[in-house]
Structure 1
Amino acid sequence: MTHGNGGDRRESDRPIGRFSSLKIELGTLIVIATAIAFVMAWFLLKVGWSGWLAMPLTLAVALGITYAFSRGMTAPLRQIRDAAEAMAAGDYTVRVDEDATRRNDEIGQLARSFNEMAGELQHADQMRRDMVANVSHELRTPVSALQAMVENMADGVTDPTPANLEGILNQTHRLSDLIAFLLDLSRMEAGAASLNVERFDFADFLDETVEPLEIADGGHAHDIRLDVPAGLIMEGDQDRLRQLFTNIIGNALKHSPDGSAVLIEAREDEQHGTIVTNVVNYGSQIDPAARSDIFRRFVKGKTGPGTESGGTGLGLSISRWAAQLHGGTVDVVDDERGADFEVILPKYHTA
């Protein structure tokens, strides 16, 4: 959908629309209008017109020429204004038409940037809608299960056995995880979070991070291999970093066939003062065109052709956010072995 004025001139109809600068276009317009006014005034005076008649007529003609030319020059600005008003009212599908985006001057650059921004806002709005639907579903499931379990116990239908209580505990864990996701989203929206920086052994840290993931992996029989040198000390917020690696490793497990291996290897880059960690999901690959998209908020990966992985679509974006809080990066890199998430973190935290 585009907004525009059918009476506005298209770029091909603007005699001075080929310049790469709006200042040059305006300067050219002033020169043309002034030259026409001068020639017209000279001619009218030459043929005997009174100056009191020639000057007003000349000014009117100059103003008419200026208005006609400037209307075509500023048409995209009116389109951008109308589109911005539509977006303010909640319509993110509006775009400035292609004629405006093909201009070579600053207005053309503005039109192209506006369309890119509108596309990003439309994507974000759709992802938010999807996230609300996903969160509602994710909340409804454990809440319904908890309600049924507690009602059955209250009515005496079931007994509060250890197995039943464990089921209630598992559902509360699901709720806690979802609430943690939402809190992390609010922190990302705020753009910052406080860090509790401490020194720790990186190998021990990864062991502690992987252990609950191995337990949760259940009957999928994934082989999680750790290749981390002993005595590798770093500084950072363990809770945030555990969040980072839990999401990255959990993502690798989720997208690995049962019985396959996931490698976690780390090394110190002494030249740059960083610790480089690679989480390799053997056998699978990520399309290079999709590598940046998977880190966007609310974007969910595929577990198979035409199927989504479920969840909130926040895990990888939270991982990148946690890395950035430490001055690090998370990216997917080329690796013949499989999908490789490379995490680069400064060894020592600098405030």
Structure 2
Amino acid sequence: MFYSLKIELSILIVISTAVAFVMAWVLLKLGLSGWIAMPLTLIVALGITYLFARGLIAPLREMRDAAEAMADGDYTVRVKTGRNSNDEIGQLSRSFNEMAEELQHADQMRTDMVANVSHELRTPVSALQAMLENLADGVVEPTPANLEGILNQTHRLSDLIAFLLDLSRMEAGAASLNIERFDVAEFLDDTLKPLEIADAGHAHDITLQVPEGLSIEGDQDRLRQLFTNIISNALKHSADGTAVLIEARVDPDDHTVVTNVVNSGSQIPYASRSDIFRRFVKGKTGPGTESGGTGLGLSIARWAAQLHGGSIRVVDDPRGANFEIRLPQHHVSDDDTPTSEDNRAESRA
């Protein structure tokens, strides 16, 4: 009802004082002595104040109990805000609930991360162990095909470890950039070559459209991570024989290089467009089936874009899922960019 706790307390004091005054006047009119009237008046005034104050601070007691429950690991508790809780305590209650929700999400992410990392590591390790045991026991011969299978599993382990290292850098805010100017068309063409080789057999029609002479300033290794993850994601979620379009242009309004990676046919629901950039969230390759990746690729791609002052988002496109990557054409100077040491110092603070 009221938007300030000070107003509510002021009204409580006025009501208590008025009740005490009227009661004292009535008791004195009835002929009671002041020694009897005053204690009765004080008791009634204190009772009224206690009852009203108890209702005002009820959310504070709930927050105390909720904080104790959260300290014991229960992040599902919430504080009831009431219908007209627009004062400072009501705002504090809503902020507390938002904090509890964030902590619950962080705890769930931590649990999911441990489970996902354990699963992702166990799968290639188990496969490697089985292959090597078969080779050691003489069950299978060390043929090129068998050795290639072992090599593929080691590559998978190496990729996962690289993802986890990038994740740790992302958490620590520590990442150095080797800034240089390079041609966008040549860079994307070089990035596509190993992806096209890996995609052999799926018959995807990969088209690259980049204006001649378009250049950008950035760290090629980090940006190669970015585009490799985005393009790989597009190929992975495209049906065999469909088209994948990669087109780049300069936005004259803010001097950014805008790259769109579009895979034909498939669409990403609005509700999932922000979730897919979360860590360990895996996309769907079909009804009820997960992509089978680590769930880190898009998260690391967004991190690499943010390191360059850019962004990644999914935009509406009737052709299919469209990932729009915006990167500043000219990188900001080192004086304006926090260094790795600065980031680590901020993390410690």
**TM-score when normalising by structure 2:** 0.87
Asked if 2 retains the 8 angstrom alpha-carbon contact of 1:244 and 1:323, the reply is yes
Q: Specify the SS of the correspondent of 1:184.
A: helix
What residue in structure 2 maps to residue 185 of structure 1? Answer: 167
Cα distance, 1:83 vs structure 2? 1.7
Asked if 1 retains the 8 angstrom alpha-carbon contact of 2:116 and 2:280, the reply is no
CA distance in 2, matches of 1:29, 1:192: 54
Asked if 2 retains the 8 angstrom alpha-carbon contact of 1:241 and 1:322, the reply is yes
User: Deviations 1:301-320 (Å, cap 9, x if unpaired)?
Assistant: 22222332233322222222
The 4+ residue runs of structure 1 with deviation greater than 6 A are none
Question: How has the CA–CA distance of structure 1 residues 79 and 127 changed in structure 2, closer, same or farther, with 3 Å as cutoff?
Answer: same
Q: Specify the SS of the correspondent of 2:82.
A: helix
Question: How has the CA–CA distance of structure 1 residues 22 and 229 changed in structure 2, closer, same or farther, with 3 Å as cutoff?
Answer: same
- Given candidates 219, 224, 247, the residue that maps to 1:237 is 219
Asked if 2 retains the 8 angstrom alpha-carbon contact of 1:235 and 1:349, the reply is yes
CA distance in 2, matches of 1:187, 1:85: 33
User: Deviations 1:34-91 (Å, cap 9, x if unpaired)?
Assistant: 2222323333344444444443433332222111111111111221222222122111
- Written as runs of structure 1 = structure 2, the 5 A alignment for 1:156-167 is 156-167=138-149
Cα distance, 1:199 vs structure 2? 1.9
1:142 aligns with 2:142: no
The residue type equivalent to 2:22 in the other structure is: V
The residue type equivalent to 1:74 in the other structure is: I
- Given candidates 310, 325, 346, the residue that maps to 1:343 is 325
- Given candidates 157, 173, 176, the residue that maps to 1:175 is 157
| Structure 1 stretch displaced more, 229-238 or 187-196 | 187-196
Q: Specify the SS of the correspondent of 2:279.
A: coil
Cα distance, 1:158 vs structure 2? 4.0
| Structure 1 stretch displaced more, 300-309 or 248-257 | 300-309
Cα distance, 1:263 vs structure 2? 0.7
- Given candidates 24, 37, 41, the residue that maps to 1:41 is 24
User: Deviations 1:203-227 (Å, cap 9, x if unpaired)?
Assistant: 2211122222222223222121111
What residue in structure 2 maps to residue 12 of structure 1? Answer: none
Cα distance, 1:325 vs structure 2? 1.4
1:121 aligns with 2:103: yes
CA distance in 1, matches of 2:316, 2:138: 58
| Structure 1 stretch displaced more, 255-264 or 80-89 | 80-89
What residue in structure 1 maps to residue 228 of structure 2? Answer: 246
- Given candidates 304, 307, 327, the residue that maps to 2:289 is 307
1:322 aligns with 2:296: no
CA distance in 2, matches of 1:176, 1:159: 25
Asked if 1 retains the 8 angstrom alpha-carbon contact of 2:121 and 2:157, the reply is yes
Cα distance, 1:129 vs structure 2? 2.6
5+ residue gaps, structure 2, are 338-349
Identity %: 80
CA distance in 1, matches of 2:78, 2:153: 45
| Structure 1 stretch displaced more, 40-49 or 309-318 | 40-49
What residue in structure 2 maps to residue 31 of structure 1? Answer: 14
- Written as runs of structure 1 = structure 2, the 5 A alignment for 1:204-215 is 204-215=186-197
Q: Specify the SS of the correspondent of 1:61.
A: helix
Question: How has the CA–CA distance of structure 1 residues 313 and 81 changed in structure 2, closer, same or farther, with 3 Å as cutoff?
Answer: farther
CA distance in 2, matches of 1:53, 1:189: 69
CA distance in 2, matches of 1:304, 1:153: 36
Asked if 2 retains the 8 angstrom alpha-carbon contact of 1:100 and 1:107, the reply is no
1:108 aligns with 2:90: yes
Q: Specify the SS of the correspondent of 1:100.
A: coil
Q: Specify the SS of the correspondent of 1:91.
A: coil
Cα distance, 1:345 vs structure 2? 0.7
CA distance in 2, matches of 1:202, 1:34: 77
Root-mean-square deviation over aligned CA pairs: 2.2
Q: Specify the SS of the correspondent of 1:96.
A: coil
Cα distance, 1:135 vs structure 2? 2.1
5+ residue gaps, structure 1, are 1-17
User: Deviations 1:67-123 (Å, cap 9, x if unpaired)?
Assistant: 1111111111221222222122111222223x5365222333333333333333333
**TM-score when normalising by structure 1:** 0.87
The residue type equivalent to 1:252 in the other structure is: A
Q: Specify the SS of the correspondent of 1:231.
A: coil
CA distance in 2, matches of 1:85, 1:218: 57
